[in-house]
């Protein structure tokens, strides 16, 4: 059976990725704090199983993944994909004015959780015959500094370097596993709503992001998810360590 484990499936890009995998007959295991009733009730060739977890809680995240792995070990696996999509943009605030607990949650969800999950995942499937694919969702903010996004720019840059380094390790080890980055560019999601609601003192560029919405410049998540899912369901077309952007295709 074909499985895709996807984080952040309650809404936004993650919900679209899960839906498209289910339509392509994948069994999806989704993780987020809130459930996704639409996916749970959907009548697609693939199935949906939800695990409610706060990815800011690293112990809970690790335990949840160990549980998922124990269940998957009972299955006959034909394909096993992992998409680490969940992330936060907050705190949108200049350094010096940030709330420590928000900052800690941010780093945990965006960077430490994907690192911890990758560690557990590669350890668990060390002796597997199936080539694994891990796709980490990044952002253009990894490559440029944005006033008020110091946390987001840093965690996405960290995720990029982490992904490239793990890809290099897998290459050297000759595992055949592929670890890649996917940049979805700007999409019409709650994350963009949060960005638009920032104050100009917190985020100097806020007007530009408000105009993206007014001018319909934000892509819908199904369109973006389709670019990623189309690639992931053909793992032989994937280059280990590659940076794929939606802009390469759309
Ligand atoms: N939107 C954009 O324009 C844009 C641009 C570039 C890159 N991206 C990237 O694309 C990805 C998806 O973004 P999006 O716009 O779809 O975001 P979104 O609409 O805000 O959805 C975020 C998802 O992550 C989950 N999540 C957040 N905090 C979590 C936590 N503590 N524990 C578990 N799950 C958590 C949320 O679920 P719960 O709240 O239910 O937990 C939700 O399912 C992110 O990696 C983002 O950085 C987005």
CA distance 20 to 81: 13
- pLDDT (mean) for 13-32: 98
Positive or negative, the CA dihedral 131, 110, 210, 205 is negative
**Helix 150-173, helix 100-107: angle, nearest 10:** 20
The class level of CATH for 2-187+220-248 reads alpha beta
Residues with a CB atom less than 6 Å from ligand 1: 8-14, 32-34, 54-56, 85-88, 109, 137, 139, 184, 186-187, 189-192
Relative to the CA of 105, which ligand 1 atom is closest?
31
Q: What is the mean pLDDT of the chain?
A: 98
Contact in structure between 191 and 12 (CB atoms under 8 Å): yes
Tell me what pLDDT residue 124 has. Answer: 98
Residue 145 is predicted with a pLDDT of 98
| pLDDT tens digits for range 141-192 | 999 999 999 999 999 999 999 999 999 999 999 999 999 999 999 999 999 9
What pLDDT sits at residue 178? 98
pLDDT of residue 143: 98
Mutate to test the pocket of ligand 1, among 13, 53, 144, 209 (most ligand atoms within 8 A of CB): 13
Condensed to tens digits (0 to 9), the pLDDT of residues 44-86 reads 999 999 999 999 999 999 999 999 999 999 999 999 999 999 9
Q: Where are the domains of the chain?
A: 2-187+220-248
> What's residue 50's pLDDT?
98
Q: Of the residues 17, 19, 28, 32, which should be mutated to test ligand 1's pocket, given the most ligand atoms within 8 Å of the CB?
A: 32
For residues 207 and 209, what is the distance between their CA atoms, to the nearest angstrom?
A: 5
pLDDT tens figures, 83-111 = 999 999 999 999 999 999 999 999 999 99
């Amino acid at each position: 059976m074909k499985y895709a484990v996807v984080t952040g499936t309650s809404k936004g890009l993650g919900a679209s990725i899960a839906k498209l995998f289910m339509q392509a007959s994948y069994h999806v295991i989704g993780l987020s704090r809130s459930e996704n009733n639409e996916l749970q009730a959907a009548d697609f060739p693939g199935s949906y199983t939800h695990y409610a977890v706060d990815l800011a809680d690293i112990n809970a995240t690790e335990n949840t993944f160990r549980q998922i792995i124990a269940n998957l070990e009972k299955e006959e696996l034909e394909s096993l994909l992992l998409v680490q999509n969940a992330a936060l943009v907050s705190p949108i605030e200049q350094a010096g004015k940030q709330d420590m607990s928000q900052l800690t949650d941010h780093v945990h969800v965006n960077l430490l959780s994907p690192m911890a999950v990758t560690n557990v995942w590669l350890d668990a499937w060390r002796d597997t015959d199936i080539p694994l694919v891990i796709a980490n969702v990044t952002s253009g903010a990894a490559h440029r500094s944005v006033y008020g996004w110091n946390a987001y720019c840093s965690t996405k840059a960290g995720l990029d370097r982490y992904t490239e380094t793990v890809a290099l390790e897998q290459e050297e080890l000759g595992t055949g596993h592929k670890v890649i980055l996917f940049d979805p560019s700007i999409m019409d999601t709650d994350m963009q709503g949060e960005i638009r609601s920032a104050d100009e003192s917190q985020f100097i560029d806020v007007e530009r992001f408000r105009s993206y919405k007014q001018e319909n410049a934000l892509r819908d998540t199904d369109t973006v998810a389709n670019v990623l899912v189309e690639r992931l369901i053909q793992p032989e077309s994937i280059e280990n360590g590659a940076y794929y952007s939606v802009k390469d295709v759309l």
